Amino acid sequence: MLKFVILRKSRGWRSPVGRCTRYIIHFESTNMTQQGLAQQAQAQAQRAPSKLVIASRESRLAMWQAEHVRDRLAALYPQCQISILGMTTRGDQILDRTLSKVGGKGLFVKELEVAMAEGRADLAVHSLKDVPMDLPEGFALAAVLEREDPRDAFVSNDYASLADLPAGAVVGTSSLRRQALIAARYPQLVIKPLRGNLDTRLAKLDRGEYAAIILAAAGLKRLGLPERIRGVLDPELSLPAAGQGAMAIEVASGARGDGVDLAALLRPLNHAETAQAVLAERKVSKIFGGSCQIPLAAHATVQGGRMHLRAMVATPDGTRSAFAELDGAADRPEWLGEQVSALLAQQDAAAILAACREDAAGADGGIPAHA
């Protein structure tokens, strides 16, 4: 049973994007204890298959993630031979057009799903923010690993921060969300699209094509490149994308021919608090049709059985925005996502989203959401 304590509307939070109103709901639950997922690896080891194949994109970061999952599984099930099937997706191949024009974020996972459907792979490892809100029929997310740093990173060879960049300096970003946030606070800067994998983007910076670029801090840290980060952007100023910093494992749902319960085998890799947080974030994104055409952010933190969820939608130029946040029990993440979405809807969210879609339909230069 839930007890609502207070509902208030105030202007106490300063939005990083244009002007907006802060809405907060605080509630308490009579059942606040969040039980961790049971670790049953020893029992599952008796039922593990003789081999598993992990499908992965072939970028260096994607392979690091797949190797990380492989090593975790190998430690749990040493009798199982685990290999990685590297693949190039359409999202990796199409670099001369924005993803909003050629199919969106699903282009980074489709080929991996085909490999699983054809029996060439048993599971696929993704950066969760690349996974569409609605999976194709027959597929499911079996585990979400513990989150890395979810913040955005400022990367530059010559400047220490966005505030230090001179007027007219070119900033590269792959995200409409980041574009909106930067444009609102630093209208004197020039924002240009930045495509390619992490190494490609860093190379473009090093060639002088950009004065600075904004990347996900998680990718740089996972690849052992924290020294490239000149500074991380505080979530109060640059709210992360839904699922940013989290890795997910996708499997084909339904019974396997060999009787192996793959979801149960992967359960020890699931991080309960991260899984709760991303459920809330992805709920917001799903409700608002989160896609490559919409600057949308959603970020949740979990501590002591409670969750704090913040979300934002904005126009690409950062002149219009809606922001909402909700604090409550962590065991109802999708409900929290629904509530914060409702609070956004009470503001200018519908008009903002309509303007975004109109701009995307009338222009050929939107920046994709993949980061």
pLDDT higher than threshold 90 for residue 38: no
Kindly list the domain boundaries of the chain, sorted by start residue: 2-31+275-362, 41-149+244-270, 152-233
pLDDT at 36 over 50: no
Q: Mean of the pLDDT values across residues 107-125?
A: 90
Q: Which of 80-89, 102-111, 212-221 has the lowest mean pLDDT?
A: 102-111
Q: At 99, is the pLDDT very low, low, confident or very high (cuts 50, 70, 90)?
A: very low
Report the SS3 class of residue 55.
Answer: strand
Stretch 122-149: mean pLDDT, rounded? Answer: 94
Q: Which tens digits make up the pLDDT trace of 145-164?
A: 999 999 999 999 999 999 99
130 annotated active-site:
yes
41-149+244-270 and 152-233: same fold? yes
Considering the chain, what is the average pLDDT of its residues? 84
Phi and psi torsions of 135, nearest 5°? -80, 155
Length of the chain equals: 371
Report the SS3 class of residue 277: helix
CATH number of 41-149+244-270: 3.40.190.10
Q: Is 305 exposed, middle or buried (0-12, 13-18, 19+ CB in 10 A)?
A: middle
In this model, does residue 168 exceed pLDDT 80?
A: yes
Given a cut of 50, whether residue 330 has pLDDT beyond it is yes
In the three-class reduction of DSSP (H, G, I as helix; E, B as strand; rest coil), residue 349 is classed as helix
**Listed residue (174, 140, 363) closest to 252, CA to CA:** 140
Question: Pick the catalytic residue: 122, 130, 149, 331?
Answer: 130
**pTM: predicted TM-score of the whole model, two decimal places:** 0.82
* Model confidence at 371: pLDDT above 90: no
Q: Which helix (H) or strand (E) holds 217?
A: helix 217-222
- pLDDT score, position 346: 92
Position 101 pLDDT exceeds 80: no
Contacts of 57 (CB under 8 A, 6+ apart): 63, 86, 87, 88, 89, 92, 108, 112
DSSP 165-183: SPTT-EEEES-HHHHHHHH
- The CATH number for 2-31+275-362, chosen from 3.30.160.40, 3.30.70.120, 3.20.20.60, 3.40.605.10, is 3.30.160.40
Q: pLDDT tier at 236 (50, 70, 90 boundaries)?
A: confident
207 vs 17, residue with greater confidence = 207
Q: Is the pLDDT of residue 37 over 70?
A: no
What is the pLDDT averaged over residues 344-370? Answer: 70
Residue 91 has pLDDT above 90, yes or no: no
Report the DSSP beta bridge partners of residue 193.
173
pLDDT at 97 over 60: no
CATH number of the domain located at residue range(s) 152-233 in this protein: 3.40.190.10
Position 113 pLDDT exceeds 90 = yes
What pLDDT digit, counting tens, does each position of 40-78 carry? 555 556 578 999 999 999 999 999 999 999 999 999 999
pLDDT of residue 240: 96
pLDDT of 194 above 70: yes
pLDDT of amino acid 293: 72
Q: Which of 29-33, 256-260, 318-322 has the lowest mean pLDDT?
A: 29-33
**Percent of the chain clearing pLDDT 90 (strictly above):** 64
Strands 123-127 and 247-252: antiparallel
Q: How far apart are CA 281 and CA 341, in angstroms?
A: 10
